[in-house]
Amino acid sequence: MALTQSGSTRDHWSSRSAFLLAAIGSAVGLGNLWRFPAEAGSNGGGAFVLFYILCVVLIGLPVLLAETLIGRHGQASAPESVRRVASASRASSHWSVLASMGVFAAFLILSFYCVVGGWVLYYVGVFAVDLVNSGVAGGAFAGQSADHIESLFPALIGSAGWTVGLDALFLGITLYFVARGVSGGIEVVANWMMPAFFVLLLAITVYGMFGGGFGQAIDYLFTFEPEKLTGPVMLAAVSQAFFSLSLGVAGMITYGSYVGRNVNLAGTSAMIAGADTLVGLLAGLCVFPIVFSAGLPEGAGPGLMFVTLPHAFQDMPFGSVVGLLFFIMVFFAALTSSVGLLEVPTAWLIDRFRIVRRFSAMIVAFGAMVLGALAALSFNALSGWHPLGFIPLFEGQGFFDVLDGLTAKLFMPLGAILTALFVGWVADRKLVDIENGIGGALHLTWLFLVRFVCPLALVGILVMGLFPDLFG
Ligand code: PHE
């Protein structure tokens, strides 16, 4: 497939599996590997995880289907696709604001996503150097203390030069692929990297089962303690579901617009959601046994994955090789997502202002670099700067956390509420019935979820999450 629009005939994914892999490539990324364990650890474990799974099934999956359906009907950039569905349904074209908001949110996410992508690059470098030093056969970091391994991450994010420089490098690589059109390299890479990545993640999890701490991790991640399910925890869980599934930022509308008529959207959406959730849970099962057996704090936030995994590779036979392979794969998983993120605003600039692809991508990347540098500096030079500190939700948070919180806890749920209202109540019923590819009881269930459950639950969760004080 080629992500270009040529005249009136639009290119499509070459096959159903090409769409499936590309969409899974967009969904599976740092959200699963890095953000999921960090959020689970900061929000108390089991209650968060089980509510997250509930959100994926009852809210994420229906909205995923709604987004791809808009895209496939519209066959254009996200705002234009919404406009086309609206016009076929004799509704106001102003609904396209749900997609415009998404385009802006995708830009904000890209800015801080590339900072974390830079950290991944750093660890690729660390393991490459270590492979030379420690050799192939033994574990990673031969002869080095656990303290030393743990100190790598704080040293990295404490350095303004490294964080900003690596952010620029990761963003530059993303720009390279998007400027050239995504089809050639990245799709090929995603096609064999994503399955290989999945196998390696599974293998590391199985290895971890024998390393101690596994039972404790299972208890921590899957024991439901109702008293821990507060408004903010629920909001964090639903936000994680959207972030991980790439929802509410027009990304899946864009990907849906390249899907042909022969593809069953409902079945495909279920597979995307299933694969994405599985990777998140596996990442949790990789990280938490190490957290417990090494006595690390589980609420360590953004550093969790980067601090724990090197531990695992130290004890493992061939640890340097496995560690290097693992972080290379994390890099590719992150890249297939960041390419998707940069593609959304780039496609919009191309459509809206007729700017050629290369310059559109450069303009967006430049903006993301400026914001990204501020996000990177919020861990070091600008650590005392709390831009939205006057709002309780963002109290004491630096610019990086503000970008993350603003997008995941506001833009994504709002985008999803509007999408659910639009597809559930405004869009023409016949159009929706033809597009979604399900019938009977399943169709009615989906319609019920989109019409009632998604908007009402999301409004409720937003209010409880943003104003916890109102609820005692
Ligand atoms: N879902 C991606 C991840 O989990 C992040 C992303 C969000 C990508 C929104 C595209 C759009 O890493």
Is the Cβ–Cβ distance between 27 and 277 less than 8 Å? no
Q: Whose CA is nearest to atom 6 of ligand 1?
A: 246
Contacts of 343 (CB under 8 A, 6+ apart): 3, 178, 182, 254
For residue 184, the model assigns a pLDDT of 64
Q: Give the distance (Å) from ligand 1 centre to CA of residue 248.
A: 10
pLDDT one-digit tens code per residue, 52-70: 999 999 999 999 999 999 9
Paired tokens of 76: 């254009």
**How many domains in the chain?**
1
How far apart are alpha carbons 112 and 238 in whole angstroms?
Answer: 20
Domain CATH code at residue 272? 1.10.4160
Nearest to 413 by CA among 293, 218, 239, 173: 239
Q: Whose CA is nearest to atom 9 of ligand 1?
A: 246
Mean predicted confidence (pLDDT) in 274-280 = 94
**Residues lining ligand 1, judged by CB closer than 6 Å?**
26-27, 29-32, 106, 109, 243-244, 246, 249, 251, 337, 340-341
For residue 2, the model assigns a pLDDT of 43
Q: Give the distance (Å) from ligand 1 centre to CA of residue 107.
A: 12
Q: Give the distance (Å) from ligand 1 centre to CA of residue 27.
A: 5
Is the Cβ–Cβ distance between 352 and 345 less than 8 Å? no
Domain that holds residue 203: 2-471
Beta-bridged to residue 6, according to DSSP, are 9
Place of tokens 């459509």: 351
How far apart are alpha carbons 26 and 339 in whole angstroms?
Answer: 8
pLDDT one-digit tens code per residue, 356-387: 989 999 999 999 999 999 999 999 999 989 99
Arithmetic mean of pLDDT over the chain:
89
Q: Which of 309-313, 315-319, 355-359 has the highest mean pLDDT?
A: 355-359
Ligand 1 atom showing the smallest separation from residue 276 Cα: 4
